[in-house]
Chain A
Amino acid sequence: MSTKSYWQQFERQRISRRRLLAVGGASAAGVAVVAACSSKSGTTSKKTGTPGTSGPPKAGGRYKAATPIVADSTFGLDPHLAIAAGPAYFARMYNVLVNRSAVNPDYYYYDLANDSGLETPDELTYIFTIRPGVKVAPNSLGVPVRDLDASDAIATYNRINASSLANACQFVCQYFDLPALQASADNMTLTIKIKVPYAWFLYNIGRAIQTIPPKELLEPDKAAVFKNAGVGGGPYKIDQGAFVEGERVALERNPNYYRAGKPYIDGYDVVIISDRSALQAQFIAQSSYDYGASSEAEVKQLTDQHPVYLGSQDPTYTFIAFTVNVTQPPWNDPNIRKAAMHAINRQEFVDRVYQGGAKPNGIVHWCVSGAIDQNDLDTYQKYDPAMSKKLIKQATGQDRIKVKIFWPQSTIEEHDQHLPIFLKQMDDAGFDVDQDPRDLVGWLTDYRTKTYGASLALNQIYETAEIPLDFHHSKGPAGSNIYASGLQDTAIDDLIDATKRITDFDTRVKAIQDAQKTLYEKGPMFMPLVTPFSRTLYQNFVRDVPAGLGTTGLFLTQDIWLDK
Chain B
Amino acid sequence: MLSYILRRLLSGVLILFILSLVVFVLLRVVSGDKAGTICGLNCTEPGIKAARHLLGLDKPYFPIGFGKGFPFILFHPNNQYMTWIKDLATGHLGNGHIDQAPIIDTIRHRLPVTLELLIITVMFTVAIGVPAGVISALYRNSIGDHVVRVAAVLGLAVPSFWVATLVIYFPSHWWGYAPPFGRSISFFQDPWGNLRQFVPPAAVLGLASAAGIMRLTRSSLLEVMRTDYIRTARSKGLRETSVVARHALKNSLIPVITVLGLQVAGLLGGAVIIEQIFALPGLGLLEFQSLLNRDYQVVQSLTLYLGAAVILMNLLVDVSYAWLDPRIRYS
A residues lining the B interface (CB < 8 Å): 66, 70, 72-76, 81, 83, 164-170, 227, 244-248, 271-275, 277-278, 280-282, 284-287, 305-306, 438-446, 448, 460, 478-482
Q: Which residues of A contact B43 (CB under 8 A)?
A: 164-165, 448, 478, 482
Which residue in chain B gives the minimum CB-CB distance to A271? Answer: B182
Is there contact, CB below 8 Å, between B181 and A271? yes
List chain A residues, Cβ under 8 A from B178.
278, 281-282, 284-285, 287
Judged by a CB distance under 8 angstroms, whether B100 is at the interface is yes
The answer to whether A440 touches B292, judged by C-beta atoms less than 8 angstroms apart, is: yes
Determine if B277 is an interface residue (Cβ-Cβ < 8 Å). yes
Q: CB within 8 A of A83: which of B40, B98, B281, B292?
A: B40
Contact flag A66-B99 (CB < 8 Å), given A441-B36, A482-B44: no
Smallest CB–CB gap between B69 and chain A, Å?
28
Q: Determine the distance from Cα of A443 to Cα of B165 in the docked complex, in whole angstroms.
A: 30
Q: Which residues of B contact A438 (CB under 8 A)?
A: 31
13 additional contacts (CB under 8 A) given A165-B39, A278-B278: A81-B40, A165-B51, A227-B100, A246-B289, A278-B277, A284-B172, A305-B173, A440-B292, A444-B32, A445-B33, A446-B32, A478-B41, A478-B42
Query: Which residues of chain B have C-beta atoms less than 8 A from A227's C-beta?
Result: 99-100
Nearest 7 A/B pairs, CB to CB: A271-B182, A445-B32, A281-B172, A285-B178, A281-B178, A164-B47, A441-B32
B4 close to A (CB within 8 Å): no
Q: Do A277 and B39 touch (CB < 8 A)? A: no
Interface residues in B254-299 (C-beta closer than 8 Å to A) = 276-279, 281, 285-286, 289, 292-294
Q: Does B82 interact with chain A (Cβ within 8 Å)?
A: no
Assuming the A-B contacts A165-B40, A284-B172, are A441 and B34 also in contact, with contact meaning beta carbons closer than 8 angstroms in the complex?
yes
A512 to chain B, nearest CB (A): 22
Q: List 22 A-B contacts (CB under 8 A).
A: A66-B181, A164-B50, A165-B43, A167-B42, A168-B42, A244-B183, A245-B99, A247-B281, A248-B182, A271-B182, A275-B165, A275-B278, A277-B165, A278-B168, A281-B171, A284-B172, A284-B178, A285-B176, A442-B32, A444-B32, A478-B43, A482-B42
Give the tally of cross-chain contacts (CB within 8 A). 148
Roughly how many angstroms separate A442 CA and B171 CA in the complex, as a whole number? 39
B44 (CB) vs chain A CBs: closest residue? A480
Task: Give Cα A409 to B173, complex, Å.
Answer: 31
Residue picked from B32, B34, B169, most chain A C-beta under 10 Å: B32
Tell me the minimal C-beta distance from A396 to chain B in angstroms.
30
Known: A272-B279, A278-B277, A480-B42. A284 touches B36 (CB 8 A): no
Bound complex: CA A25 to CA B78 (Å):
60
Which of A271, A277, A305, A446 is close to B169, meaning CB atoms less than 8 Å apart? Answer: A277
Q: How far is the CB of B31 from chain A (nearest CB, A)?
A: 4
